[in-house]
Amino acid sequence: MKIFSAGLCAVLLATLIGSRTLTAAASCESLKSMMLRDTTIMSARVIDTGAFTPPAPAGATPPPAATQAFRDLPAFCRVEAMLEPSSDSDIRIEVWMPASGWNGRFEAVGNGGWAGTISYGAMAAAIRRGYATASTDTGHAGNGGDASFAFNHPEKLVDFAYRAVHEMTVRAKLVIEKHYGSAPKLSYWNGCSTGGRQGLKEAQKFPADYDGIIAGAPANYMTHLLTHSIWVAQASLKNPASLIPREKYAAVHQAALDACDALDGVKDGVIEDPMRCHFDPKAIQCTGADAPTCLTAPQVETARKIYAPATNSRGVVIFPGLEPGSEPVWSGLAGPAPLSIAATYFKYDVFKNPDWDFKTLDFDKDVAMIDKQDDGLLNATDPNLKPFFSRGGKLLMYHGWVDQLIAPRNSINYYTSVTKAMGGVDKVADSIRLFMVPGMAHCFGGDGTSTFDSMATIEQWVEQKKTPAQIQASHMVGGVADRTRPLCPYPTVAAYKGAGSTNDAANFACKAQ
């Protein structure tokens, strides 16, 4: 009798457990009435093949090119919802689910700058690959360059910092399970810049949310990153004579290439490892009249400050500088006005003074005050990833060496802090990898091989236990690859084998410097 009872209990238990994955699928439209905590589902409807048009700001019409970019999308269920986890929260999220051919996985996508919009382009890429996907505006509407949304709204800053992404993740998984009758078997995060910071915050604060995280060019040391933006602005704009006109960027770039391009044995217009480059812009200081091909003495000092780390008066490094090779895109930080992402942060979130002058930032007392004020809210610098790694989580980081907005060595600094905190590189080699991309600018573009499939890499790592020893990357011209190279896990770099075309990745190997 006891044996019979035990057997019956086992059958009942198995039935109850299995019911979670055997729940009847719900139609897309029926999701409108789904009840979720602190959530209002505003819309749930099927978008037919090629019929999606991204929303435009009020009173505007999407340009034809923006609409055309989504014409190849398959049919999908689009759920729009608003989350209110606090009394001052207004977090918009969207969840998209393929009408057919779902691969059983979930891919959430990140934002840029101060967010303020749903990342429709990244969601479209996920849908094309058969993923269910989600994105959030992080709790406010904006263009990504303005932090005024958080002025006297501390809860909205919390939403942006981490809460919106986590709450979106939880709700999205429930919606997906309701629609398909089964939960995603694996969950991935894919983001760059702010999206990279969001990914690291998830790994640090909510280690069970994702199985694999792609964190590109992460803005994770955000308070110091924005301080560095003001450092460059002060160097360029405090004295009108210090500003380097855009027409001089090409000359500085060529001088940097002349000094360092061939250090890796291949002259290809890309500095493979800028850390080996010791270029001094004084090499092109004007010896006569000012000209587009040279720098004046004040401009030389500006260039030196752009390459150098931001420091306080005691020489303590606040944030790394930009690298040789980044000159063509210096206007991002060294243009005729401070970067709005940084300037509005200090105006509205730090000093709460819309008239704050960037020239007054004190790199001693103000930075210390900001660090204390943030107290780990925006920053995602915690190196303890043991909870994430211990459950099998994989972290794929990448960063372009000529990033013009977030200094590349910031990623090296975080990666190094993690390996040190976790007991050394060998202890976590199967859990975290960093790939530095020669010639790539902020998240994409540049003269290097900046096109690569990070999703395929993280999929193979998580699902097939294939720790990436390298990533095949291409330089694209008009949609055609004219050069390929392996991207190598830091600290190794791609070294030419000495024979064959230097445009073919097969003729390079990842080697330690």
DSSP state, 349? I
Confidence of residue 62 (pLDDT cuts 50, 70, 90): low
Residue 187 has pLDDT above 50, yes or no: yes
Residue 16 has pLDDT above 90, yes or no: no
What pLDDT score was predicted for residue 56? 79
What pLDDT score was predicted for residue 24? 82
What pLDDT score was predicted for residue 61? 67
The average confidence (pLDDT) of the chain is 94
pLDDT one-digit tens code per residue, 356-396? 999 999 999 999 999 999 999 999 999 999 999 999 999 99
- DSSP letter for each residue of 290-348: --TTSB-HHHHHHHHHHHSPEE-TT--EEE----TT-GGGTHHHHSSS--HHHHHIIII
Catalytic residue numbers? 193, 403, 442
What pLDDT score was predicted for residue 438? 98
Q: How many helices and strands (H and E) does the chain possess? A: 16, 15
Helix intervals (H) in 69-221: 120-128, 154-158, 164-180, 194-205
CA atoms of 113 and 128, how far apart (whole Å): 25
Across 455-469, average pLDDT: 98
Phi-psi region of 62 (alpha: psi -120 to 50; beta: other; left: phi over 0): beta
pLDDT one-digit tens code per residue, 331-349? 989 989 999 999 999 999 9
C-alpha distance from residue 136 to each of 11, 112, 198, 355, 446 (Å): 41, 11, 11, 30, 28
Our CA dihedral for 303, 309, 315, 316, rounded to 10 degrees, sits at 170
CA atoms of 217 and 447, how far apart (whole Å): 17
CA atoms of 134 and 165, how far apart (whole Å): 10
Across 151-157, average pLDDT: 97
What pLDDT score was predicted for residue 404? 97
Identify which of 379, 463, 378, 394 has the alpha carbon closest to the alpha carbon of residue 203.
394
CATH number for the 29-221+379-471 domain, one of 3.20.20.140, 3.30.450.20, 3.40.50.1820, 3.40.50.1370? 3.40.50.1820
Peptide bond into 491 cis (omega under 30): yes
* Domain spans, the chain: 29-221+379-471, 224-374
Question: Which amino acid, one-letter code, is at 175?
Answer: V
- pTM for the whole structure: 0.94
Across 214-233, average pLDDT: 98
Starting from the edge strand earliest in sequence, which strands make up the sheet with 132-136, in order? Answer: 39-47, 76-83, 91-98, 132-136, 105-109, 186-192, 212-216, 394-400, 432-437
Confidence of residue 310 (pLDDT cuts 50, 70, 90): very high
Give me the helix-helix angle, 365-374 and 222-237, nearest 10°.
150
